[in-house]
Structure 1
Amino acid sequence: MRKILIVGAGQAGLQLALGLQSNGYEVTLMSNRTADEIRTGRVMSTQCMFHTALQHERDLQLNFWESQAPKIEGLGVSVAAPGSFDPGPSQRAIDWVGRLDGYAQSVDQRVKMAGWMETFAQRGGQLVIHGAAVSDLDYFARTYDLVLVAAGKGELVSMFGRDASRSPYAQPQRALAVSYVHGLGPRPEHPEFDAVRCNLVPGVGELFVMPTFTLSGRADILFLEGIPGGPLDVFQGVKDPAEHLSLTLELMERFTPWEYARATRVELTDAGGTLAGRYAPTVRNPVGRLPGGGLVLGVADVVVANDPITGQGANSASKCAASYLGSILGHGEKEFDEEWMRGTFERYWDTAQHVTKWTNAMLGPPPEHVLNLIGAAGQLPPVAHRFANGFDDPSDYENFFYEPEKTGAYLTSVAGG
């Protein structure tokens, strides 16, 4: 029986641990928090998982909350009209919703990670509650066939050097602020189905609104992404959750009044329902070398950390776990050497590179052809549908998003069809 150590109990680490466990591997999972500490702690993320990522969970029979979480059947895009926001709120220049081919869902990671961790232990997995340092891994590497690092923050990440050729940004491109709330009213447009709403405010930032399932049931996530130094970048030093929500609502009223109109009665789901921070999107070298010479393989956002502007974090983690699971199972009894580690990462990068390219493109000011594309989606439902479903399969953006010629040809073909 092959022995594998996974450090980090997030979406990727737990999904991979449970997948290996179900295939007869002896898995040890290290987490710096217990399931109860995760469940009663602060929200860790926003997440909206699209069909492909959800299917990876279903394949492992880990979709425990599927019947309880809202079914997200659409993805809407609004763009604020140009002009000053100070004299009076401007409204939308663009507003549409595309239907998703397969529904998306969001489950608060406090619910999911705690539940999965308990399942892993109940199934006989060895769960070690301990923050891991490089020196710990140096010791463990000798006793395991493979060590995987799936903890995307802290000292361990420093073992994986930045890949400058795949990382165009050295600094954070957005300041992030999250609130989980109850009491959000329905959007007047298409109240008959749930949708993620992407609100773009040129030169200022974005507001994403997504239905979720949390500790207290159905809720919604209000997620602000502010251009650093701009009017949304005001959450540093705000520690009080009520002040965080109040500030969020003020900014919504000023910059996205159409969303604020349904948020006048919201309240936080719980005292841990807010989060703020920022990080630079980075692709790293997938192989870490320990002081004693052992090698470890980075997983998910340890090696490919994208800004959450395209909602891909949990999706990418799920896809990485599924890809790595296939690579491990296919390797049989052979040694997990550096060549295998690099090959395993490159197999995942075949998918991940499309997420990174698209996300980095969305962080910059949109070029004219992209604005034309997003605008055309309001008049042409097939364009809205294709754009929305790209969130599930970002590789499709290669065909119609990046190059003005391809965008123009695509819009011509749809308009003429």
Structure 2
Amino acid sequence: MDFEHSPKVQDLRRRLLAFMDEHIYPNEKRHAQEAHASFMNAERTGGPYTGLPLMEELKRKARAAGLWNLFLPEDEHGAGLTNLEYAPLCEIMGRRYWSAEAFNCSAPDTGNTEVIARYGNEAQKARWLQPLLDGEIRSSFAMTEPAVASSDATNIETRIRRDGDDYVIDGRKWYITGAMNERCKLFILMGKTDPDNLDRHRQQSMIIVPRDTPGITVVRDMALVNHYDAPFGHPEVIFDNVRVPASNLLLGEGRGFEIAQGRLGPGRIHHCMRMIGMAESALEMMCERAVSRVAFGKPLSDQGVWRERIARGRMLIDQTRWMVLHAAWRMDTVGNKVAAKEIAMIKVIAPNNCIQVIDDAMQAFGAMGLSQDTLLVNFWAYARHLRVADGPDEVHTNAVAKQELGPYRAKVA
């Protein structure tokens, strides 16, 4: 294993850091103001969240700087980076939870773009791929449902029924990230085309559903730890007799799980990469607070408990980073399927380790750490949601245990 950055990555990293210093950090206040205005407008009108003028400006600048679609390994569409090469760049973008969109590297668009690029037919690519690559539209991934335990995706109840040249979709989804935004133009939806198939992993399919198709109703936005994430949102969505052409099906009936495994591996590790960046920012804030804040006659940095927490933060972040890099290296060398254990491990380790760092930083700021005056609450909400998103801790822990126990069970079989 060689985790040294290649000259190409070193150059991209240098340029990305400079972009963050020049364009992202100085615009934090403006971003917060525009996001709040988008939320208030949607509250007043009952309509979707509007896009942010700042983000459109940043996207033009990032594209001009050659910092665009860095997540895509395909040279013809993206930067041609491996997972290992992308990791330090994704971490930098994660230092501000909202900045990845400026580089067209934000979820769920990254995963959806990869799905269409890898599994879509030529007509699907012609209609949807280039607008996503250009950052002109946004998308959503409709999988989670409120009525069933979606941690076991075989429970999904949404039906995709063939009717002549169309498929008809009926179901209810929620926490569908991005679907509140006015620029969301499509869903990639997972549902059952063959619910009676004895192979429970061949019952599901994925299909592209244009956002403006009749029968789609956004019921409400769902709060994320009591935070409404404008301008993206995570709404509850009803699909009632939604009719789309049969040609919108991805790859074929019964292949939804196959697509999901190809999509969720990179998606999970990208979340973990971004999470490290947030934890680094939280540790920086904690250190700055510790040397400037005086309590009981001396700076926090001179008090043993805070030194312990700062040291713990560095150790937790570095543990997480090396585990993520190892998982990325495994994905690049043996493939996502073989690297499933490593992906599962970092999906548990990253949010739990980083939550601890962020929580300690919040404690250092006292009441301020719980307020809107720092980004720590946003970081904490992102980290906490990641213990559930893309599969909860329990599912991934169970998967790791199964692989560890496999050889021992074989001996006694």
Q: Please report the TM-score for the alignment, with normalisation by the length of structure 1.
A: 0.28
Q: Of Structure 1 and Structure 2, which has the larger fraction of its residues in helix?
A: 2
Q: Of Structure 1 and Structure 2, which has the larger fraction of its residues in strand?
A: 1
Whose RCO is larger (CA < 8 A, sep 6+)? Answer: 1
Q: Please report the TM-score for the alignment, with normalisation by the length of structure 2.
A: 0.28
